């Protein structure tokens, strides 16, 4: 399953709820959720701990729009819009966490 999260973990519990509830799959961080994928952020250790159960992706255009394009933490894969489509197509189900 592809889990799509768009809220920053610094202002919302959406990503934490996703990681605590979902059994596994792919997580795609978009919009303000990409802050969770940056090295040195307050949520980094929680995301690293979840990487054993999830493959984590971040939308590159959203990273760049926030000036974080060069701050991606190790283990997170940046994808463009075509990569977003590929993830949606390769997963049987998609869940947007609002």
pLDDT digits (tens, 9 = 90+) for 16-53: 999 999 998 999 999 999 999 999 999 999 999 999 99
Rounded Cα distance, 80 and 66, in Å:
15
Give the total number of structural domains in the chain. 1
% of the chain beyond a pLDDT of 90 = 97
34: tokens are 């990409």
Structural domain span for residue 48: 2-97
Which CATH number does the domain housing residue 33 bear?
Answer: 3.40.1260.10
DSSP 1-53: -EEEE-S-TTT-SHHHHHHHH--SEEEEE-GGGGGGGBTT-TTHHHHHHHTTT
> Would the pTM of this model clear 0.85, i.e. be above it?
yes
Q: 4 near 34, Cβ under 8 Å?
A: no
- Residue 38 backbone dihedrals phi, psi, to 5 degrees: -95, 140
Residue 80 has a pLDDT of 98
């Amino acid at each position: 399953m592809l889990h799509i999260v768009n809220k920053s973990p610094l202002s919302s519990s959406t990503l934490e709820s996703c990681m605590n509830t979902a059994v596994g799959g792919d997580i795609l961080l978009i919009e303000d959720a990409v802050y969770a994928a940056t090295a040195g952020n307050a949520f980094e250790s929680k995301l690293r701990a979840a990487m054993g159960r999830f493959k984590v992706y971040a939308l590159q255009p959203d990273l760049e729009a926030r000036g974080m394009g060069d701050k991606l933490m190790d283990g997170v894969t940046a994808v463009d819009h075509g990569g977003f489509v590929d993830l949606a197509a390769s997963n049987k189900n998609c869940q947007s966490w609002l």
